[in-house]
Amino acid sequence: MIDGFLALYIFMLAAFTGYEIISRVPVILHTPLMSGSNFVHGIVLVGAMVALGHAQTPLETAIGFLGVLLGAGNAAGGYVVTERMLEMFKSSKKAEGK
């Protein structure tokens, strides 16, 4: 069980991690990175799966289904657009080497 101060510590450490990772990113990667971090919170899909997996009433099932649908969209869409953007970044040195 994660509760109280343990949760607070996790929140704090994760927040610092996120802050530190981004602070070293060059501006040219900001758009892909925003898209990439958008993909990462697609992990919400896992939570929505749990919610739907434990749904009992029809209302809970409908809400859970919506949650999984949206979560899957977040994860899949975030991945596709980020990958498409990053695939295009090439260095002229590398291109000449080939």
d(CA 36, CA 40): 6
Both structure tokens of 92: 């002229």
d(CA 67, CA 42): 11
Shortest Cβ distance from residue 73 to another protein (Å)?
A: 4
Shortest Cβ distance from residue 62 to another protein (Å)?
A: 9
Shortest Cβ distance from residue 5 to another protein (Å)?
A: 11
Amino acid at 1: M
